Chains A and B, each alone.
Chain A
Amino acid sequence: MSTLHTVNKSPFGNGALQSCLKHCKPGDAVLLIEDGVYGAIAGSALAAEVRAGLSDVALYVLEGDVKARGIDAGKILGEVKSVGYGGFVDLVTSHDRTQAWL
Chain B
Amino acid sequence: MSETKKFLYVNRKAPYGTIYALESLEVVLIGAAFEQDVSLAFLDDGVFQLTRGQDTAGIGIKNFSNTFRALGDYDVTKLFVERESLDERGLTEADLQAITYEDENDDWAEKPSIRVVSRAEMADIMASQDVVLSF
Contact = CB atoms under 8 A, between A and B. Distances in A.
Task: Determine chain B's interface SS by DSSP, over half rule.
Answer: mixed
B102 interface: no
Given A15-B44, A19-B44, A102-B12, A24 B123 contact: yes
B29 to A, nearest CB: 20
Nearest to B20: A102
A23 B134 contact: no
Contact of A99 (B124, B134, B135): B134
A72 B49 CA distance: 41
A42 to B, nearest CB: 26
Interface string A1-33: 111000000000001100100111100100000
A23 B44 contact: no
B129 interface: yes
B132 interface: yes
Nearest to A18: B44
B126 interface: yes
Contacts of A24: 123
Of the candidates B44, B122, B127, B128, the one having the most CB atoms from chain A within 10 angstroms of its own CB is B127
B43 A1 contact: no
Contacts of A99: 10, 126, 132, 134
B119 interface: yes
Contacts of A100: 132, 134
B69 to A, nearest CB: 26
Contact of B127 (A3, A16, A98): A3
A98 B134 CA distance: 10
A100 B13 CA distance: 13
A102 B119 contact: no
A15 B127 CA distance: 20
8 contacts: A1-B127, A1-B128, A23-B122, A25-B124, A25-B127, A99-B126, A100-B132, A101-B134
Interface of A: 1-3, 15-16, 19, 22-25, 28, 97-102
Interface of B: 10, 12, 43-44, 119, 122-124, 126-132, 134-135
| 5 A-B pairs closest in CB distance | A23-B123, A99-B132, A100-B134, A102-B134, A25-B127
